Amino acid sequence: MIADVEKREAVVAAFKHAWAAYERDAMGFDEYHPISKKGENLAHSDGIGYTVVDAIDTIYLMGLEPEYQRARSWIDKKLNFDQPGEFSTFETSIRVLGGLLSTYYLTSDRLFLTRAVDLADRLIIAFDTESGLPLPSVDLKNRKGVADKYAVDRVSTAEAATLQLEFRYLAELTKNDTYWYKSEHVMSVIDKAKLPHNLVPIYISASQGTFKESEIRLGSRGDSYYEYLLQAKTESIYRKMYMDSMQGIHDELVQITPTRNMTYIAELVPKNWFSGDHDYTLQHKQDHLVCFLAGSLMLGATTVGAVRKTVSVPPQLHELSAQGRRDWQTGVNLLETCMYTHETATGLAPEIAMFRTDKDTTETRDWYIKNSRPGGPSSYDARYMLRPETVESLFIAWRLTGDIRYRDYAWGIFTSIERYAKLPGGGYATVLDVDTVPVSLDDKQETFFLSETLKYLYLIFCESSVLPLQDTVFNTEAHPLPVFAPTIKPRFSI
């Protein structure tokens, strides 16, 4: 598929607008506040390069050589992981470790591998628990895992199970199997604790390795567990876990609205939070984060769910298994629903959508934003945080089908971002209420806007030879890593 050069270059210009403002006002700081033109570091530290390292592979892919050299120079001369404070094991792994590894993959520059090893050797301490599940935070300077201060035995399931791509690739590069076995062991613990429907609650005990009474969802603290099962599909054990969990999603969570027949993914909420019986009730709520699943289902259908090694573009039904055909159709339908949630005053989707369960032809939408009153005070659910999940799925759908509507959808989202989130003085900010125009903005340019949202938009308008799906996996922060056959022998089996 050929590039749409004009639209691709418009995305590059948007990235330069965002990056130049950060570089001008906050170079080296972990986070950026574009309205006040200030940077902020995490954990009361001197910073560990969240924004720089998260964005550098996008800079490289876009061919922005001067910006790349300045970012590389900062990583070479100023990046220092010997920092006290409590850094998120998950966020640091997917953003910083993932960014270093992906840039090494793209450039073969050993600076990035050296920095990755330094960071990984500090993060790996988090896995030293009774169960082998990683603690949620790490003191990088003192190389000490840190428990959740509000619930010392609680670990987020997705956060514990979204480290495997990074540590396994680093193990393959360095032949240090400690990275591999510690991260792989997490999946063994989760598999042993799984519920009959093969879905996972969002919290698990760090000491016992058993699930805590908590929601089952594909939004926050649940999403990337399922994503990484597919991304590790070169191994049969992960393929089985993926297929079993997709069956559970279809059995328990896939719903269809009664008016417009829109497919969405509901949540399961405990009926009794303290019973320990894992008895749930359905909640008709879908986070924007869930929109990753549309592309994941489509990709899974053409790989795990295919009956032949390669499939056509677009895939033909006879090339897919029965489960593959089911997953493909659910993915296509879910992506349409995600685009449906962009039918707002700004053309941007809210953080959380609630779905109507009663047929009502008087309502213009099958979904609504909880506690939102256009023109009134904004609710958390109503905001658009520059998130990437829908454009991530549009990227996968475009690559797998060549259907121009997916490029058109992506361009519509991009133009809405340009119109409502762009700051004239540089940078982009969170839109507080997607259904209210003129918009109010929150003073935050998320790092994932640079590492994910704009990267996926760029790739949608590139030629398909750039990071082909058959050779590349993307971690949950959109850092590309290679598909490889491991040389380290797995210990985990069912």
pLDDT of residue 457: 98
Cβ–Cβ < 8 Å for 458, 411: no
Residues 136, 117: Cα–Cα separation, whole Å: 20
Q: Tokens representing 28?
A: 């080296």
pLDDT of residue 286: 98
pLDDT of residue 44: 81
Cβ–Cβ < 8 Å for 252, 197: yes
pLDDT of residue 378: 72
Residues 218, 200: Cα–Cα separation, whole Å: 9
Greatest alpha-carbon span in the chain:
62
pLDDT of residue 122: 98
- Catalytic-labelled residue, pool 57, 67, 184, 223: 223
CB-based contacts of 258, cutoff 8 Å, min separation 6? 356, 357, 358, 359, 366
Give exposure, 283-310, as e/b (b: 16+ Cβ within 10 Å). ebbbbbbbbbbbbbbbbbbbbbbbeeee
Give the containing element (helix H, strand E) for 39: strand 38-40
Whether residue 91 lies in the annotated active site: yes
pLDDT of residue 68: 98
Identity of the residue numbered 163: L
Query: Could you tell me the mean pLDDT of each successive run of 10 residues in the chain, 494 residues long?
Result: 96 98 98 98 90 98 98 98 95 98 98 98 97 97 94 94 96 96 94 94 95 95 94 84 97 96 97 77 97 98 93 96 98 98 98 92 87 73 98 98 98 98 98 96 98 98 97 97 89 65
Locus of tokens 């428990």: 147
Beta-bridged to residue 39, according to DSSP, are: 32
- Catalytic-labelled residue, pool 25, 86, 91, 287: 91
Angle between helices 404-420 and 5-26 (to 10 degrees): 30
pLDDT of residue 374: 61
**Distances in Å between the alpha carbon of 422 and those of 23, 133, 375, 409, 434?**
16, 40, 21, 19, 14
pLDDT of residue 300: 96
Whether residue 351 lies in the annotated active site: yes
pLDDT of residue 6: 98
Backbone angles phi, psi at 145, to 5 degrees: -70, 145
SS3 content of the chain, % helix, strand, coil (to 5): 45, 10, 40
CB-based contacts of 73, cutoff 8 Å, min separation 6? none
pLDDT of residue 491: 76
H-helix segments, 43-125: 50-61, 65-77, 89-91, 98-107, 110-123
pLDDT of residue 493: 64
Q: What is the CA radius of gyration of the chain?
A: 21
- Catalytic-labelled residue, pool 159, 191, 327, 351: 351
Q: For the chain, how far is it from start to end, CA to CA, in angstroms?
A: 40
Closest CA to 397 of 466, 323, 482, 329: 329
Q: Tokens representing 324?
A: 């593959």
Residues 23, 34: Cα–Cα separation, whole Å: 11
Q: Tokens representing 143?
A: 């190389």
Q: Beta-carbon neighbour count of residue 416 at 10 Å? A: 19
- Catalytic-labelled residue, pool 184, 191, 389, 477: 389
Residues 171, 59: Cα–Cα separation, whole Å: 26
- Which residues in 116-229 belong to E strands, given as ranges? 137-139, 144-146, 154-156, 203-205
Backbone angles phi, psi at 195, to 5 degrees: -85, 165
